[in-house]
């Protein structure tokens, strides 16, 4: 049972000023161990989806792959953003 469920008064602003986990959620597994995944796996998946013409040449198609976590880190919190909607709009605009 959480403190909130037990009826304790909580200062959410103070709680959210601190990290909720000792490591970023983006690099952990559900059991809170460090993730073992690899970004190179993405390359393998993308290559499997590539279609070749009968001549053995690649079809000319374009794709943009964005590392969203890197984008979030690069942009940071937009100055005028007050809601998640505002933040999402800033990131969509950056893309």
Instruction: Please give the residue range of the domain that contains residue 68.
Output: 12-94
Taking the C-alpha atoms of residue 26 and residue 11, their distance in angstroms, rounded to an integer, is 26
Quick: pLDDT tens for 6-61.
Answer: 888 888 888 778 776 666 666 777 676 776 666 677 777 777 766 665 666 656 66
CB atoms within 10 A of CB 70: 9
Residue 3, domain member (yes or no)? no
Taking the C-alpha atoms of residue 89 and residue 78, their distance in angstroms, rounded to an integer, is 10
Residue 23, domain member (yes or no)? yes
Residue 42, domain member (yes or no)? yes
Residue 20, domain member (yes or no)? yes
Q: For 62-67, what is the mean pLDDT?
A: 74
Domains held by the chain: number: 1
Residue 66, domain member (yes or no)? yes
């Amino acid at each position: 049972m959480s403190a909130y469920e037990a009826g304790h008064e909580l200062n959410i602003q103070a709680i959210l000023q601190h990290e909720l986990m000792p490591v970023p959620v983006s690099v952990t597994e559900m059991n809170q161990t460090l993730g073992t995944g690899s970004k190179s796996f993405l390359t393998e998946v993308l290559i499997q989806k590539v279609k070749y013409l009968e001549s053995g040449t690649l079809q000319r198609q374009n794709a943009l792959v964005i590392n969203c976590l890197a984008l979030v880190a690069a942009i940071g919190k937009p100055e005028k953003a007050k809601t998640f909607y505002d933040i999402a709009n800033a990131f969509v605009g950056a893309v």
